[in-house]
Each structure stands twice: as C-alpha cells, then as structure tokens.
Amino acid sequence: MQDLSTPSLSPPSKRSRSGGITLSVALVAFLLGAALVTWIASRGYLAQVLPASQPAPAAPTSGAPQGGATASRTSSAMDAINTVEGRLALIEDRMSRVDFQSRAASGNAARAESLLIAFAARRQIDRGVALGTVADQLRLHFAQAQPRAVQTVIDFAQRPVTVDELSARLEALSGGLATNGANTSLWDRARHQLGSLFVVRSGTAELGTPSARIARARLMLGSGRIDQAIAEVERLPGANVADNWIADARRYGAVQQALDLLETTAMLEPNRLTDDSGQAVTQASPLAPTAPAGEPTEDAVAE
C-alpha cells in the first residue's frame, strides 16, 4: 500500500519549458518591433514609406450637386448669350455704317450726275445747239426741284442765241443806236436825255457818249454781265432799233440764271433732287452749310 499523506513532486516536463521560452521570445520581439516603429515614426521615415491617406469624399447634401451644376450651366449660357448679343450688336453697328456709307455714296453719285447734266446743258446753250437727250435728263433730275428753271432752259434751246451773235448784232446796230431814230417817241427822247444828263452830272461826260455806251455794252456782254449791257443799250438815243436785241439778250440772261440755279440745286438741294431712276435723293449734301444751333432750317421754315 502506498502512503497518501505525502504527495510525490515530479519535475516539469520539456513541453512546458519550451512554451514559456516561445512566449518570452514573442513578447520581446513585439516590444522590439514597437520600439522600432516608434523610432521610425519619430524620424519621419514612416510618412515616406506609407502612401498619404486621402480623405473620403464628403457625402453631398440633398440638392447641392444639382443646384451647383444648374448654376454653372446657367452662367455658361448667360456668357454665351452675352457673347452672341455683343457680336450681333457689333455686326449691326457695322452694317448700319456700311448702309450709311452706301447711301451717302449713292446720294453723292446722284448729285454728281445731276451736276454733270447741268454742265452739259450749259455747254449746249453756250454753243447755240439743241439740247437733245439732255432735255429729258433735265426733266428727270430737276423737274421736282426747279420746274421753272428747267422749262426756261428748254424753251431757250428751241430759239437759241449766243454771246457772239449778240455781240455781232450789237455791232451792226451801233450806227442806229448812236442817233435818234425817226420814229422815236417824245417820252423815249426825254428818257435818253435824262439818262445822259445823269451821266454828265457825275463828272464823266465822255462816258455818256453813244460810242462809249456801245463799247461798255459790248464789254459787259462779253464778260457775262447781260443786265448791265442791256441797261447801257437802253440809254442810247436809238434804243428803239434794238428792241429785238434787248429781248434776246434778256432771254439769254434768264437762261444763264436758270442754269446757275440748276447747278446750285444739284449741289445743295436737300430732298427734291432725283436720281436717274426717279428716286428722291435724301442724303444731305456734303457741301450744304450746317445751321447754327437754335436757328430753324429751311424745311422747318417751309412747314
């Protein structure tokens, strides 16, 4: 029989000793690793090795993405609209300038054409030839602006007379003009005598002689002063023999005034001149004087 009062103590087994050693080694390794990681982190080496952590995108609030996208699209659309409107405004401005320049060029061309027609009519009148097609052009361009002047030119061209012809006829009448005609009335003689007295009293007796008057009339006729030439002839003693000459000279003076009026109309008429198609020239003439501020224009006065 065994003695149960004193237990028997057996030495620890080899497995228990090996497990304790393993645990100790693991604990030491863990501590060493932790110390190594701490040292690496303190030196800043850990941030270079590990990738930088990126923050997770924040959860969008309800309605925020749609509102931002809508605002962005609206802003882009407004920018596009503003750009288009700006370009359209620029194009419209350029088109208006081109239209104004084209209308100005068209108006100036019509005025230049009308002026050339007036010059052509004057040339035909001075030469004493028929107007031909120039008469139709005068009616087309000037009938609305100056109908009387146009008719005066056309009527004169049907019975033309030139300065050379008037000078030659005056020379031929000089003999009869210097003496009193047989059929001169008492009133005509008294009028001529009073005219002579007026010249004598001015201190120039020689200027009142018939030959001097005829010479002055010829000179004034050649220089285009028709009215003064007629006045000199009317003061001659035999002026009654020059009635036809005076009538033709007056017609010549009237047609010259009509031509002057047509030329002025071509350059300055504001709205009644017409072009070759019969359309009114509304473009203001570049030669027209501008009315000072506060003064009414011709159209305003006419109204």
Closest C-alpha to 270, from 280, 256, 257: 280
Share of the chain above pLDDT 70, in %: 55
Q: What is the pLDDT of residue 95?
A: 62
- Token readout for 70 is 């809508």
Q: What is the pLDDT of residue 303?
A: 43
Phi, psi of 274 (to 5 degrees): -125, 155
Question: E strand or H helix at 242, and its extent?
Answer: none
Q: What is the pLDDT of residue 299?
A: 45
Rounded to 10 deg, the angle between the 147-158 and 64-127 helix axes is 30
Closest C-alpha to 111, from 258, 270, 261, 293: 270
The average confidence (pLDDT) of the chain is 73
Alpha helix ranges (H) inside 50-63: none
Angstrom distance (rounded) from CA 297 to CA 216: 42
Burial bucket for residue 202 (CB in 10 Å: 0-12, 13-18, 19+): exposed
Number of alpha carbons in the 13 Å side-chain half-sphere of residue 252: 28
Please report the beta strands in 55-205, taking only residues with DSSP state E, as ranges in sequence order: none
Say whether 296 sits in a helix, a strand or coil: coil
Question: E strand or H helix at 40, and its extent?
Answer: helix 14-43
Q: What is the pLDDT of residue 86?
A: 66
* pTM of model > 0.85: no
Phi, psi of 239 (to 5 degrees): -65, -20
Q: Using alpha carbons only, what angle is made at residue 282 by residues 280 and 287, rounded to the nearest 5 degrees? A: 120
Amino acid, res. 293: A
pLDDT, tens only, 121-145: 999 999 999 999 999 999 999 989 8
Is the Cβ–Cβ distance between 186 and 226 less than 8 Å? Answer: no
* DSSP designation for 50: S
Burial bucket for residue 230 (CB in 10 Å: 0-12, 13-18, 19+): buried
- Token readout for 272 is 């009644």
pLDDT, tens only, 69-122: 666 667 666 666 667 666 666 666 666 555 545 555 566 788 888 899 999 999
Per-residue pLDDT band for 27 (boundaries 50, 70, 90) equals confident
Q: How far is CA 156 from the centre of its chain?
A: 39
